[in-house]
């Protein structure tokens, strides 16, 4: 009962209303613009947007297979007729001889080529090209154009071959050398003869059997990279918020000479163990609350992707068979574990420092270094072939190993510190 009372007291010391209010204000001021910018970039002007792929998932299911491609092929003539009707309604179309998807792209290619040539000549008269690009932007923004373009993109790609899968793997690992600039025959020979690390080759053989059932993340660069980029920012915020709450705890205790009182009895010296638990619990609460808020605000924008496989044969090659939803859950779990472990390590490191300035001078560089390591090595291309640690160690799941090592290291350091203080001489100041 006494331990629980002490724990509750330490939690009240950590969770101060002023700090919470400041964190809420900073979080809203920084988080809302970041989130809105990411939402806007999902459907920024381009050939294929996240909105287009979500429409495919809803129409044909979360898996790209022969049935999905057959459905796209079946619907394409109807959608092309709808696009042709929209093009005909624009009076400028007759001026450029544009009647359908094919003629629009042909004229667009020619005008882009002529524009580049005019730029090289430094031709001052660009009115014709500007008018075309205004028209092309209007056509490119049509829902009917996007409906045709996204289906044609996937139909052109089709089901990738085993050769494509291996070539893409070699490219991601920077193992192609000068092969891509050689003749087609030498390129194919190089890809065929190239040897991958043993574990990677075994996994590639497993993925080869799944080539006919891939997900949409291979081309959904917006959905994948925006989500993972935000998760990196989420981790940095979780760590910063955890430290803002917990770092003042040992500083205030030393300023009020609470440490001397704790050293006065064996029971008092056991408070450090309770404080460690309060620091870990506070960081865990911050991490889980931040993750839940991120999920509530962001996942509705990419919700249909959660059922699609992570495996996308041309760019996303995972070590494990996961849907996107389970993948994000695993990455979020790693972020939470590493945030708690990092907070415990930093608080352990500064626990004997006097003054908030000295604490900040020691804690901030350490926090930045830990955040950089986690974001670059764990939260970038997590569980994928081209994750930096996976390439270096040729070991799937190295992100889990790093998270476990971080948690064990923090626990071990605090356990040793608690044991030393528990068995220390009572006469120590």
Domain assignments of the chain as residue spans, ordered by start: 2-42+220-422, 50-157, 162-208
Which comes out higher in pLDDT, residue 309 or 417? 309
Residues 6 or more apart in contact with residue 109 via CB below 8 angstroms: none
From residue 85, alpha-carbon distances to 28, 139, 152, 316 in Å are 45, 12, 18, 37
Instruction: Please state the rounded mean pLDDT for residues 338-364.
Output: 88
355 neighbors 424 (Cβ within 8 angstroms)? no
Judge whether residue 372 has pLDDT over 70.
yes
pTM value > 0.85: no
Say what the pLDDT of residue 86 is: 93
Say what the pLDDT of residue 429 is: 42
User: Six-digit token pair at 168?
Assistant: 């893409």
Highest-confidence segment of 45-49, 130-134, 180-184, 231-235: 231-235
Rounded-to-integer distance, Cα 256 and Cα 159, Å: 68
pLDDT band of 427, cuts 50, 70, 90? very low
274 neighbors 7 (Cβ within 8 angstroms)? yes
Say what the pLDDT of residue 316 is: 77
259 neighbors 34 (Cβ within 8 angstroms)? no
Say what the pLDDT of residue 409 is: 93
Judge whether residue 218 has pLDDT over 60.
yes
Judge whether residue 428 has pLDDT over 50.
no
pLDDT band of 89, cuts 50, 70, 90? very high
Rounded-to-integer distance, Cα 216 and Cα 306, Å: 10
Taken in order 233, 235, 241, 244, the sign of the CA dihedral is negative
Judge whether residue 65 has pLDDT over 50.
yes
Q: Could you tell me where the beta strands, DSSP code E, fall in 73-124?
A: none
Judge whether residue 30 has pLDDT over 80.
yes
383 neighbors 320 (Cβ within 8 angstroms)? yes
Taken in order 50, 55, 384, 191, the sign of the CA dihedral is negative
Which helix (H) or strand (E) segment holds residue 401: the answer is helix 398-422
Rounded-to-integer distance, Cα 93 and Cα 86, Å: 10
Say what the pLDDT of residue 241 is: 94
pLDDT band of 341, cuts 50, 70, 90? very high
pLDDT band of 124, cuts 50, 70, 90? low
Instruction: Please state the rounded mean pLDDT for residues 21-34.
Output: 89
Judge whether residue 419 has pLDDT over 60.
yes
Instruction: Please state the rounded mean pLDDT for residues 265-272.
Output: 61
C-alpha distance across the termini of the chain, in Å: 28
Instruction: Please state the rounded mean pLDDT for residues 137-153.
Output: 90
Say what the pLDDT of residue 263 is: 55
Instruction: Please state the rounded mean pLDDT for residues 234-252.
Output: 90
Q: What angle do CA 309, 311, 316 make, to 5 degrees?
A: 130
Which of 69-78, 327-336, 343-352 has the lowest average pLDDT?
A: 343-352
Say what the pLDDT of residue 48 is: 63
Say what the pLDDT of residue 173 is: 72
Percent of the chain surpassing pLDDT 90: 28
pLDDT tens, residue by residue, 148-195: 998 998 888 888 777 778 877 777 776 655 555 556 777 777 777 778
Judge whether residue 382 has pLDDT over 70.
yes
Cite the DSSP H helix spans in 218-355: 221-246, 248-255, 258-263, 266-269, 271-302, 324-350
Q: Give the mean pLDDT of the chain.
A: 83
């Amino acid at each position: 009962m006494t331990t629980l009372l002490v724990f509750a007291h330490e939690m009240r010391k950590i969770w101060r209303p002023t700090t919470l209010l400041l964190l809420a204000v900073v979080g809203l001021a920084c988080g809302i613009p970041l989130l809105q910018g990411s939402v806007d970039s999902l459907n920024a002007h381009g050939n294929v947007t996240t909105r287009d792929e979500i429409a495919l998932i809803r129409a044909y299911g979360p898996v790209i297979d022969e049935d999905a491609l057959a459905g796209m092929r079946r619907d394409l003539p109807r959608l092309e007729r709808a696009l042709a009707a929209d093009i005909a309604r624009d009076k400028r179309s007759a001026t450029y001889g544009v009647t359908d998807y094919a003629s629009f792209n042909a004229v667009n290619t020619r005008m882009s080529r002529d524009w580049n040539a005019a730029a090289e000549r430094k031709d001052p008269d660009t009115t014709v090209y500007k008018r075309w690009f205004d028209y092309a932007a209007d056509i490119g923004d049509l829902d009917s154009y996007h409906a045709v373009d996204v289906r044609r993109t996937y139909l052109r790609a089709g089901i990738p071959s085993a050769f494509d899968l291996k070539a893409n793997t070699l490219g991601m690992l920077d193992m192609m050398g000068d092969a891509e600039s050689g003749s087609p025959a030498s390129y194919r020979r190089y890809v065929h003869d190239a040897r991958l690390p043993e574990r990677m080759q075994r996994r590639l053989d497993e993925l080869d059997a799944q080539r006919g059932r891939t997900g949409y993340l291979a081309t959904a660069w917006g959905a994948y990279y925006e989500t993972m980029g935000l998760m990196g920012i989420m981790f940095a915020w979780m760590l910063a918020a955890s430290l803002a709450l917990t770092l003042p705890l040992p500083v205030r205790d030393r300023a009020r000479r609470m440490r001397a009182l704790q050293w006065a009895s064996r029971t008092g010296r056991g408070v450090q163990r309770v404080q460690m638990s309060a620091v870990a619990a506070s960081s865990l609460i911050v991490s889980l609350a931040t993750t839940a808020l991120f999920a509530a605000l962001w996942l509705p924008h990419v919700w249909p992707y959660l059922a699609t496989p992570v495996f996308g044969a041309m760019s996303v090659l995972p070590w494990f068979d996961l849907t996107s939803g389970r993948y994000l859950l695993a990455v979020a779990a790693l972020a939470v574990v590493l945030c708690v472990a990092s907070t415990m390590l930093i608080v352990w490191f500064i626990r004997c420092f006097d003054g908030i300035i000295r604490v900040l001078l020691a804690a901030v560089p350490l926090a930045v270094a830990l955040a950089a390591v986690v974001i670059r090595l764990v939260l970038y291309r997590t569980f994928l072939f081209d994750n930096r640690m996976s390439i270096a160690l040729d070991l799937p799941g190295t992100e889990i190993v790093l998270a476990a090592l971080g948690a064990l290291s923090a626990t071990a350091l605090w356990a040793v510190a608690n044991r030393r203080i528990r068995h220390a001489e009572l006469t120590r100041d």
